[in-house]
């Protein structure tokens, strides 16, 4: 989580935004953002999405490690960067590098039993999203509708509309999420 915290601070400073200005844009308190940047707070995935939207970047930009343009990119299972959100009881890991310049960002999201992306439905950046349950079961909520998904089920949705993911099983649930800009 420390590298993600440092990356948020770096992007904020590159855009010459004060802590308070970014907090207002992201609809989070300045003290919470300060704690996140200092690595003292583990934000929910929804909060990370709100901060990234306020910075005008995708959540994948937090993990960017450089581009390998023109070269096939292999991301070995044990070598990928993973960020755990204690608030969400979930982890996310990018499945590619150089994502800030790509039109598609594939992510693996694991929700522990009882885990969710945020306390309330949230909207993320412009684009489209697709998700498939790889293992376990999840409930997807958007605009007052809940969809129960099990391993092998997929959903395509507009991330600009408030939505949320909940683990609907007693064990971990693994989702493949693809964000398209």
CATH of the domain at 102: 2.60.120.10
Range of the domain at 162: 77-180
Provide the domain count of the chain.
Answer: 2
35 CB neighbour count, 10 Å cutoff: 15
CA-CA distances (angstroms) from residue 68 to 27, 98, 107, 158, 168? 34, 7, 18, 29, 37
Torsion-angle region of 53 (φ positive above 0: left; ψ -120 to 50: alpha; else: beta): alpha
CA–CA gap between residue 53 and residue 159 (Å, rounded): 11
Instruction: Give the Cα separation of 94 and 119 in Å (integer).
Output: 23
Residues 84, 27: one domain? Answer: no
Res. 168 pLDDT band, cuts 50 70 90: confident
Helix axis angle for 2-14 and 30-37, nearest 10°, is: 120
Q: Is the predicted pLDDT of residue 47 greater than 60, yes or no?
A: yes
- For residue 59, being part of any structural domain is answered with yes
Same domain, 59 and 81: no
144 HSE (CA, 13 A, CB side): 0
Tell me the CATH number at 14: 1.10.260.40
Q: Is residue 70 part of a domain?
A: no
22-33 pLDDT, tens digit each: 999 988 999 989
Assessment of whether the complete model's pTM goes beyond 0.75:
no
Instruction: List, for residues 60-79, the tens digit of each pLDDT value.
Output: 777 666 555 666 777 788 88
69 inside domain: no
Give me the percent of the chain exceeding a pLDDT of 70: 87
Residues 103 and 144 in one domain: yes
> Same domain, yes or no, for 58 and 101?
no
> CA–CA separation, 51 vs 24, rounded Å?
10
Q: How far apart are CA 142 and CA 162, in angstroms?
A: 6
């Amino acid at each position: 989580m420390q590298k993600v915290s440092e990356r948020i601070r770096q992007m904020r400073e590159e855009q010459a935004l004060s802590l308070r200005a970014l907090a207002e844009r992201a609809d989070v308190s300045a003290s919470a953002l300060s704690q996140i940047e200092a690595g003292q707070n583990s934000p929910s995935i929804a909060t990370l999405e709100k901060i990234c939207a306020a910075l005008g970047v995708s959540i994948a930009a937090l993990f960017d490690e450089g581009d390998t343009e023109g070269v096939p990119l292999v991301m070995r299972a044990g070598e990928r960067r993973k960020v755990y959100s204690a608030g969400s009881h979930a982890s996310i890991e990018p499945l590619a590098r150089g994502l800030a310049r790509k039109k598609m960002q594939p992510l693996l999201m694991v929700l522990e039993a009882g885990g969710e992306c945020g306390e309330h439905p949230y909207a993320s950046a412009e684009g489209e999203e697709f998700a498939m349950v790889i293992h376990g079961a999840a409930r997807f909520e958007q605009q007052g509708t809940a969809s129960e998904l099990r391993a092998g089920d997929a959903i395509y949705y507009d991330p600009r509309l408030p939505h949320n993911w909940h683990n609907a099983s007693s064990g971990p649930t693994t989702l493949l999420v693809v964000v398209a800009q």
